[in-house]
Structure 1
């Protein structure tokens, strides 16, 4: 895998971790275990992601998240709890992919991975808060299912076709920016609608 592909994989996994961290950890652990992702020599400690116990715990977390994410307001509570966890996970996933032998580069990769995960997490949490404001429960389930399909599809594409990872990362950034703008506008409109009229 070339440097650009590695950067694309790291960016894509960090962005996807902001939506579905546990699924990302389980998928990366399995990919490392079966040899789809080569672990950089300088960061052998992150080989822990391929440990069967870590994969198992991440799989249980992914299943819990799958169900918690379908229930209105429970998804917002789940997102609130994971506001610190997802960025840290995204940062560690970026470190697991990039061979950052220079300590300054390690810090840069860690910060960029965490920032990408925080950005996508913020877009997800904002969109879900806006969707939860609607009175019917079906939009929440539809949005959650779309996130599941996008996350699993993105993970599959990134891990099986690393050459496409840069395109996936760019696409995810565009989706995240659109979600942030749409969420901001929906919440602003809701705030105007709920404010007392003079």
Structure 2
């Protein structure tokens, strides 16, 4: 069986929450529920570190504007995690060159990260904090669901991840005016604070 659908799906999910992906893959592998997960992701020290980082993300991601700063930092982290997970999965299966797998995982993670970050900027323009918490919770549950589904039904999960990626890109284009408004306000605030 080709590991490419699992790499694509884990790349998409890494762009949303890389720590959840590594944590779930590692836990499922350590529990013996799948043979697809490399031993390096199942190590106890790796699981402890990504578990702690997952908890940090779970909190930071629900606070308006803190989530935007967190996303900015993770513009490098999430695609890199997607690339590393993809390469590790390919190396474990031996069915796809690791460099190509890293490119698939990393580029998919980058696009889904940009969708997430763009959507969050638009949500942050809303005056109430509830939408942020709801969106973050939906993202976490979506990542968990798609990663678990991908371990048992990789092709179907990859199709779903692909549809979510296309829908996300379309949503960001639709929300572009809100994002531009957010950025203009932020620029004005900086100008006022620098001048005053």
TM normalised by structure 1 equals 0.82
Find the counterpart in structure 1 of residue 115 from structure 2.
123
Once residues 51 and 185 of structure 2 are traced to their aligned partners in structure 1, the CA distance between those partners, rounded to angstroms, is 41
State which drifts further: 131-140 or 27-36. 27-36
2:87 alignment partner, one of 91, 95, 103: 95
Find the counterpart in structure 1 of residue 146 from structure 2.
154
Q: C-alpha displacement at 1:24, in angstroms?
A: 0.4
Q: C-alpha displacement at 1:55, in angstroms?
A: 0.8
Once residues 147 and 135 of structure 1 are traced to their aligned partners in structure 2, the CA distance between those partners, rounded to angstroms, is 20
Report the aligned-residue RMSD. 2.7
TM normalised by structure 2 equals 0.83
Find the counterpart in structure 1 of residue 13 from structure 2.
16
Find the counterpart in structure 1 of residue 30 from structure 2.
33
Once residues 165 and 182 of structure 2 are traced to their aligned partners in structure 1, the CA distance between those partners, rounded to angstroms, is 25
Deviation digits for residues 119-171 of structure 1 (CA, Å, limit 9, x no counterpart): 10011001101111121211111211221221111122112333422322322
Find the counterpart in structure 2 of residue 52 from structure 1.
44
Q: C-alpha displacement at 1:38, in angstroms?
A: 2.6
State which drifts further: 113-122 or 169-178. 169-178
Deviation digits for residues 54-98 of structure 1 (CA, Å, limit 9, x no counterpart): 011111111111111110111111111111111100001111222
How many residue pairs get aligned? The number is: 187
Unaligned 5+ segments in structure 2 are 187-196
SS of match in other structure, 1:83: helix
Kept in 1, the 8 Å contact 2:79–2:108? The answer is yes
Kept in 2, the 8 Å contact 1:127–1:182? The answer is no
